[in-house]
Amino acid sequence: MPIVVDVDVMLARRKMSVGTLAERVGITPANLAVLKNGRAKAVRFTTLAALCEVLECQPGDLLRWEPHGETDAT
């Protein structure tokens, strides 16, 4: 999928666990794992806003677009 979710990157930067983030955002750890692992088909704006609030970041810090066939060179 060309949309890549970088929640794990922000979790590492904030030194926060998945469980702590899920609790603060108000979603289950399982649903957060689905989003974090790129298996989600959609994300509610309210969830995205809550993630940004808790992680103190912008939506663009959590989501990015990669054309098909490209890989992350970093």
Q: Residues 28-48: pLDDT tens digits?
A: 999 999 999 989 999 999 999
Residue 68: what pLDDT?
A: 80
Per residue in 8-17, pLDDT (tens digit) is: 999 999 999 9
Which domains, from first to last, does the chain contain? 3-65 (1.10.260.40)
Predicted confidence at residue 2, as pLDDT, reads 86
pLDDT of 74 over the 60 cut:
no
* C-alpha to C-alpha distance for 35 and 46, rounded to whole angstroms: 14
